[in-house]
Amino acid sequence: MIGWYVHHQGRGHLHRATVVAAALDQPVVGLSSLPSPGAPFADWVQLDPDDAHPAEEVTAGGALHWAPRGHDGMRARMARLAAWVERERPDVVVVDVSVEVSVFLRLMGVPVVVTAMPGDRTDTPHTTGYTVADRVLAFWPQDVLDPPWLAEYGDKAVHVGAVSRFDGREPAPRAQGTAVLLAGGGGSAVTAADVDALRAATPELTWTVLGGPGEWSADPWPLLSAADVVVTHAGQNALAEVAAARRPAVVVAQDRPFREQHRTTEALHDTGIAVGLPVWPAAEEWPGLLARAQQLGGGAWERWSPGDAALRAAAVVTEVARR
């Protein structure tokens, strides 16, 4: 049996877990405070939330990221994890993402595969989490983004490329004159005023805004794959979906811890995959930026998203499980 811990922030961790779980040939049990999505998970262990009460001394003196002292939710979730491990004896657990869960499971003798995150992850908690892992899975290509701190883990770190729930799906017919803005679902910095200025600067385009001040869509693929051009933040799930659609894109980094989105955006820009920006641009810059993205085209996204990353990730997890 394989366990998969799914972080509750945003939707990307769950989407990634769902795609890779479907590619595994062993039963996969989800472990999360998110509600169960059902298939392809064989079971789902509902964990208590660890952020619902006032928290104090959350870093354990800088050793961890989130371990609030005296917190009932944290105590309950770890107790439930421990009970599940004792009862089911998993062969491996994939942790996406939590340093605390990785260390806790490893202390119980469970092999762990930890997902890497872009950015400058050289702090003590991240170093500890990657050190205790049997494998570190990077869901991006090494030839595009190769942070020195990750290279220090040698063969333990495996780059598989981006995973999208839309990998292999037929694109919708092109809808000329349409554009999509992926504003983000995990804490967007895009405002309604930003959207209004973007629309005013590009009257020739009909914009659909998903996330942030816009609407939410359970299936953005028809809009995304048909668009002439896309503007997106640099979260891993959003990039994976744009890459699967092979659409020209402007990628605008949003502020995240450890400069996660900025490092990713820099790599995409430097390799010519997309137009990358460190901040939301002035309105008058949009026509030129979008024209540049369309000149680049969307074909280079194949470097970021090879289409078989889920199978590659599943092979890594299976190899650890069969040790």
Residue with tokens 């009970």: 83
Q: For 188-201, what is the mean pLDDT? A: 94
The second-level CATH assignment, the architecture, of 178-304 is 3-Layer(aba) Sandwich (3.40)
Residue 174 has pLDDT above 80, yes or no: yes
Residue 9 is predicted with a pLDDT of 87
Identify any residues that bridge with 249 across adjacent strands, giving them in sequence order: 230
Is-contact 265 238, C-beta < 8 A?
A: no
Residue 189 has pLDDT above 90, yes or no: no
Higher pLDDT, 278 or 185: 278
Is-contact 229 250, C-beta < 8 A?
A: yes
Percent of the chain with pLDDT over 90: 94
Is 178-304 in the same CATH topology as 2-163+307-321?
Answer: yes
Token readout for 243 is: 């890459």
What does pTM read for this prediction? 0.96
Written out in words, the top-level CATH class of the domain with range 2-163+307-321 is alpha beta
Residue 188 is predicted with a pLDDT of 73
pLDDT band at 11 (very low <50, low <70, confident <90, very high): confident
Per-residue pLDDT reduced to its tens digit, 219-273: 999 999 999 999 999 999 999 999 999 999 999 999 999 999 999 999 999 999 9
Query: Could you state, in order of their start, the residue ranges of all structural domains in the chain?
Result: 2-163+307-321, 178-304
